[in-house]
Amino acid sequence: MSEGWIQASERALEQIRRFLERKDMDRLEIVQSMRFILLSLHRSLLGWMNWVNNPDIMVAFSKEELAEMNRRLGEFVQEFIKYDIEVTKQGARKGSAALEARREAEERTGRGAGETFYI
């Protein structure tokens, strides 16, 4: 079980490396790369949760090993959440600007939000 997990994780790392080395990716390719990276993180998190929730596995680690895992995960997750907050703020500003531009366009054309027709 662990060997298969490790091999799949190594393949994911290789794919991520290839994505990050590519030059001149278009927007769709960048989004596809982000999607793969986040799905890889998700897979890893599910694995961690399976381990942490399994006392038969956790008992095999010493208190020092558990403390080191806790410290490293805590550092990693703090940085990830800080970045998440930063990008969320950017997205909120961009979303607000887009909504305002849409409202202004609707006012100029005399249409309300419910009257906009999309195909």
Express each pLDDT in 3-13 by its tens digit: 999 999 999 99
Residues 25-64 pLDDT 10s: 999 999 999 999 999 999 999 999 999 999 999 999 999 9
Max Cα-Cα span within the chain:
69
pTM of the shown model: 0.75
Return the domain boundaries, the chain: 1-60, 62-112
Q: What is the 3-state secondary structure (H, E, C) of 39-92?
A: HHHHHHHHHHHHHHCCHHHHCCCCHHHHHHHHHHHHHHHHHHHHHHHHHHHHHH
How far the first Cα of the chain sits from its last, in Å, is 49
**89 vs 112: CA distance, rounded Å:** 28
